[in-house]
Amino acid sequence: MPKQPKKLESHNNKLHVKKEDTVIVITGKDKGKKGRVIAAFPRENRVLVEGVNMIKKHAKPSQQNPQGGILNQEAPIHVSNVMLVDPKSGQPTRVGYKVLENGKKVRVAKKSGEVID
């Protein structure tokens, strides 16, 4: 039986977090954990966070892994379940956008007003 294709949320694929951001999980089994975003998947509205949502993957022996066995690895988590960590206070914050004088659009932490990137 063929695998069903993943349903993609098509209306707005803009994420409030990017690769290399530090985020905190706000719901689910890993609530309260902090981690760095390893990868972002905008079409699926998911992010891969370091050390969060760990799963066990059964791997066959291969060239890279001659032993095979059970590996621990991260699984993507929905972007609505994470919040960006404020660089100033270290607390979770919402993200706003602001246009600077030079015309560059930047992300801003709502709690402190600190420019994120």
Q: Determine the 3-state secondary structure of 8 from DSSP.
A: coil
Let me know if residue 22 belongs to a domain.
Answer: yes
Q: Are residues 98 and 55 part of one domain?
A: no
Reference 53, options 19, 76, 21, 24; nearest CA is 76
User: Domain residues for 110?
Assistant: 87-116
Q: Are residues 38 and 95 in the same domain?
A: no
Q: Does 29 share its domain with 80?
A: yes
48-84 pLDDT per residue, tens: 999 999 999 999 999 988 998 999 999 999 999 999 9
- Give the model's confidence band at 117: pLDDT under 50 very low, under 70 low, under 90 confident, else very high: confident
**Residues 71 and 92 placed together within one structural domain of the fold:** no
State CA 88 to chain mean position distance: 20
Cα 44 to chain centroid distance, Å, stands at 11
Q: Which pLDDT score is estimated for 3?
A: 77
Q: How confident is the model at residue 28 (pLDDT cuts 50, 70, 90)?
A: very high
CATH number, position 23: 2.30.30.30
Q: Are residues 16 and 69 in the same domain?
A: yes
Upper half-sphere CA count for residue 93 (Cβ side, 13 Å): 22
Mean pLDDT within 13-23: 92
C-alpha to C-alpha distance for 16 and 59, rounded to whole angstroms? 33
